[in-house]
Structure 1
Amino acid sequence: MTFDPTIVETVTVDSYGTLVDPSTVERALEASVDAEHVQSISNQWRSRSLLYTMVSNATDSYQPFYAMNRDALCVALAAHDVELSSEAIEAILATYHDLDPFEDVTRGLEAITDAGYDVFVVSNGNPEMLESMVETAGLESVLAGTISADEIRTFKPDSEMYRHAAARTGTPIESIAHVAGPTFDVQGAMHAGMQGVWIDRTNSMWDPFADEPDLTVETFDEVAAELST
């Protein structure tokens, strides 16, 4: 499918891995974990937290993402035989309130809003996480709002989350372009009826079993350029 900017009325964006960089947590891990294990723990923490969201959808066992993230961190630490105090674990977990935005985010989102599009965050993060993310990254002026999975207790990539986002923004679902770094999120948005934009900053491989994204870009600057054509 080919991206059609002429039908786009609203832009939705993912949060972690799209606006802000989850690898920032590695700096916090370095204070408590041997350097040789930091990357492996970080990767396992991230992948297991995402796994939990999908299992939650399938088993109707919702809990807020921050709590799931804590459980995933504890499992990743235990898998590497790392024992930390509850205070140290909470300090590492709290870095999710202070993640670094990617370099292109503010500039690109400003260009999108200047072109006349409302931009909403659609995230699995719970409202407190999103509030701190927006404040820390300084994105208040370029976002029309945030939409959390906590509002319907269902995580992406379930279609219900994208339909909820369409209702919250007051936009027909086919008139939304959803921008995300995680491939499962792009797939979920397209399956629900949105146009899917994959922001691939690291020249990654698209999942071969899935339909190709409507548009692949490296930065939000390119998204703005496509919407301005």
Structure 2
Amino acid sequence: MPDPDQFNTVKACVFDAYGTLFDVHSAVARHRHRIGAEADAVSALWRRKQLEYTWLRSLMQRHADFQTITEQALDHALSVHQLPDASLRRDLLSAYGSLDCYPEVPAVLAALREAGLRTAILSNGSPDMLAAAVDSAGLGDHLDAVLSIESVGVFKPDPRSYRLALDRLGLSARQVLFHSSNGWDVAGAATFGFHVAWINRFAAPRECLPGEPDVELQSLEPVPGLLGRG
């Protein structure tokens, strides 16, 4: 575990939402019995296309909000796996609006707030999606801000998306510890200048990109102790 003094400038903890606070595969898991043996493959493809479409639309300068991208990515996954059931599509999208949060999340956010640190979400998610997820998980009282990239119209890892946190919180990059489970997001945030914790829940290999995390963790549970606030 790194020396807590490494993070003695940190005044705020900022979190990616999808995959970091919320389990992106919990939507498909709720309907596994309807999908069958291909459920995990459907969920993985849905997630992969969701991310790819954010990057491709940013490069094409053809922005669409994350709700639209989520729907289009699901349509692709269902088409690939030959699942044309309109009711299944509707129910999966509904489930995505109330994803399960990881079990440690509420207690970690509460501990950070009690220790005097500010907390925020910074996500590609559209404002309505994020509001629904936060409300469903009961996290609203543990957050100072919920920030969507929609206010700048470009997805992470564009630097303009990360700057939203600094502008909203009135801090410098080195006063923020950013948390993400996504290796590409870790690289983008570290390159931007944040302190970064990689929440590597599934032991993924590091991306071959610029920007290294300050610390790699298996969950968010150690974060308050890491900051000397546990």
TM-score (norm 1): 0.93
Q: Any conservation in 1 of the 2:27–2:92 contact (CA below 8 Å)?
A: yes
Which residue is 2:17 aligned to?
15
Which residue is 1:221 aligned to?
221
Q: C-alpha displacement at 1:24, in angstroms? A: 0.5
> Which ranges of structure 2 fall in alignment gaps of 5 or more residues?
none
> Which ranges of structure 1 fall in alignment gaps of 5 or more residues?
none
Q: CA 1:217–1:59 in 2, change beyond 3 Å: closer, same or farther?
A: same
Give me the CA root mean square deviation: 1.8
> In structure 2, how many angstroms separate the alpha carbons of the residues matched to 1:70 and 1:26?
14
Q: Any conservation in 2 of the 1:197–1:214 contact (CA below 8 Å)?
A: yes
Mean Cα deviation higher: 194-203 or 57-66: 194-203
Matches within 5 A, 1:1-150: 4-33=6-35, 35-85=36-86, 87-150=87-150
Which residue is 2:172 aligned to?
172
- Structure 1 counterpart of 2:158, which letter? D
Q: How many residues align?
A: 227
- Structure 2 counterpart of 1:58, which letter? L
> In structure 1, how many angstroms separate the alpha carbons of the residues matched to 2:93 and 2:188?
27
> In structure 2, how many angstroms separate the alpha carbons of the residues matched to 1:60 and 1:141?
36
Q: C-alpha displacement at 1:210, in angstroms? A: 4.4
Secondary structure in structure 2 of the residue aligned to 1:47 = helix
Q: C-alpha displacement at 1:218, in angstroms? A: 2.0
- Counting aligned pairs with the same residue, the percent is 27
Q: Any conservation in 2 of the 1:178–1:197 contact (CA below 8 Å)?
A: yes
Q: Any conservation in 2 of the 1:108–1:219 contact (CA below 8 Å)?
A: no
Q: C-alpha displacement at 1:88, in angstroms? A: 3.4
Q: CA 1:211–1:173 in 2, change beyond 3 Å: closer, same or farther?
A: closer
Q: Any conservation in 1 of the 2:121–2:145 contact (CA below 8 Å)?
A: yes
Q: Any conservation in 2 of the 1:25–1:96 contact (CA below 8 Å)?
A: yes
> In structure 2, how many angstroms separate the alpha carbons of the residues matched to 1:72 and 1:177?
30
TM-score (norm 2): 0.93
